[in-house]
Structure 1
Amino acid sequence: MTGRERALTYLREVVLSDPAREGTFVNEQQLAEDVGLSRTPVREALLILASEGLLKMLPQRGVYISPLSAREIRELMELRGVIERYAVTVPGLDAEATGTAMLGVLEEQAAMAGDASRRDARAFIELDRRFHQLMVDAAGSSLLSRTYAGLRERQVRVGIAALRAGDGRWQDVCLEHRAIAEAVRAGAVADAHAAIDAHLGKTSQALLAL
């Protein structure tokens, strides 16, 4: 792994996925020290992320982690909905295997949600991301999978933030996921679409209410 790749991984998985970093500045030199690299690969990584609209590099001020606006949240959920609804309609989808795999991830989420001492928001949302990515990957389109995976930083950030809506959100996510997974496993496309829309809609409501 090159220095730039190491810096990108750190920025994506640690910095950009943390809702607490929204609306704050981070120092380029400090980032380099945190990753154990020189500033050059860190700057290269920052330029890539800035081109993706995930942060802003402001002269004389530093690196600014832009908060997601209400419009960006709505657009993210709409795009996820389009991709996920399409994924479950693809001919040849192995509905039973896909739904069963999704339920396996859900069991891990449910165990965490049901035990307050084990709750870890980042780990919970990583499971959430795996749950949805399984559904998209089952469509068998590498382009679709890469496009969806490219939403990762935004998904993790908003997912963690949505859990702040209250303790009940942890359990609600599991219930919503179960409805999606069971509909997928049964090959009930209309029910899967309705469950996907309900889940994304409730997540949006939780975020916009914060």
Structure 2
Amino acid sequence: MPVTRESGRDRALHYLRETVLVDPSAQGTFLNEVELASRIGVSRTPVREALLLLVADGLIEMLPGRGAYVPPMTGRQIRELMELRGVLERHAASRVLAERAVPLAALREVLAEQESLATGGHDGDLEIATAFIDRDMVFHQALVDAAGNTMLTRTYAGLRVRQRRVGVAALFRSANRQRAVCGEHGRIVEALAAGDEPAAMRAIDEHLALTLRVLLEA
């Protein structure tokens, strides 16, 4: 069976989404296409193609005469993201409790991985922060996936890039935020394990509200 090679555009898109957009220092800056092409190992054409895809997603702006700009997420955008997450996560929690399909093993496994990452306390380390937020997204996606609704799963997964951006930003803005997140996740798991829907809703709301507060205090 022939091996499918990743295209230059896909490589550039992956790098921009997973490395550039998540970096707090890149927010509010212009991107150099030549520098990006060199760093990724492709020509400028696939970089430009990737940038245009991100423009369509509302993650990059192309300003005439100035190039590709990474606009910081506004307070309104962050609030709307957290509001949407709350709607989806609370619904998922309600469904998995009703169906007795709480993915406790998966949630506990990811939480343990996050706790291991948080022991170093390096909230200002981009590599560790990114790894921590990647596990954070796995935690929440596992809960949403367990609801068994394909459209719900796809909708939540579509928030990935924005969630990564705000998640890493929150870690950089609050000391020991990683440990705090582990505690918040732990309360969500405890409520789900106990089959206590009101407590699970409160724990989800508290987690999102605390994250929002950290992001808007800067």
Aligned length: 208
User: Is residue 127 of structure 1 aligned with residue 132 of structure 2?
Assistant: no
Q: Deviations over 1:150-201 (max 9, x none)?
A: 1111111111111123323221111100011122233322211110000000
Cα–Cα, structure 1 residues 148 and 93, in superposed 2: closer, same or farther, change >3 Å? farther
User: Is residue 44 of structure 1 aligned with residue 49 of structure 2?
Assistant: yes
Aligned equivalents of 1:77, 1:93: Cα separation in 2: 26
Aligned mate of 1:196, from 184, 187, 204 = 204
Q: What letter matches 2:39 in structure 1? A: D
Q: What letter matches 2:158 in structure 1? A: G
Aligned mate of 1:92, from 90, 99, 107 = 99
Aligned equivalents of 2:121, 2:167: Cα separation in 1: 18
Aligned equivalents of 1:178, 1:11: Cα separation in 2: 32
Aligned mate of 1:76, from 69, 75, 81 = 81
Instruction: Report the TM-score, using the length of structure 2 for normalisation.
Output: 0.89
Q: What letter matches 1:208 in structure 2? A: L
Aligned mate of 2:169, from 161, 169, 176 = 161
User: Is residue 20 of structure 1 aligned with residue 20 of structure 2?
Assistant: no
Query: 8 Å contact 1:183–1:189 — kept in the other structure?
Result: yes
User: Is residue 9 of structure 1 aligned with residue 14 of structure 2?
Assistant: yes
Aligned to 1:182: 190
Query: Which sections of structure 2, spanning at least 5 residues, go unmatched?
Result: 1-5
Aligned to 2:62: 57
Deviation at 1:117, TM superposition (A): 6.5
Query: 8 Å contact 1:93–1:138 — kept in the other structure?
Result: no
Aligned equivalents of 1:17, 1:93: Cα separation in 2: 36
Query: 8 Å contact 1:19–1:160 — kept in the other structure?
Result: yes
Tell me whether 192-201 or 153-162 shows the greater mean CA deviation: 153-162
Quote the sequence identity (%).
Answer: 52
- 4+ residue segments displaced more than 3 Å: 116-119
User: Is residue 137 of structure 1 aligned with residue 137 of structure 2?
Assistant: no
Aligned to 1:66: 71
Aligned to 2:3: none
User: Is residue 206 of structure 1 aligned with residue 214 of structure 2?
Assistant: yes
Query: Which sections of structure 1, spanning at least 5 residues, go unmatched?
Result: none
Query: 8 Å contact 1:93–1:139 — kept in the other structure?
Result: no
Tell me whether 162-171 or 60-69 shows the greater mean CA deviation: 162-171
Instruction: Report the TM-score, using the length of structure 1 for normalisation.
Output: 0.93
Tell me whether 127-136 or 138-147 shows the greater mean CA deviation: 138-147
Query: What RMSD in Å do the two structures reach over aligned CA positions?
Result: 1.7
Deviation at 1:43, TM superposition (A): 1.5
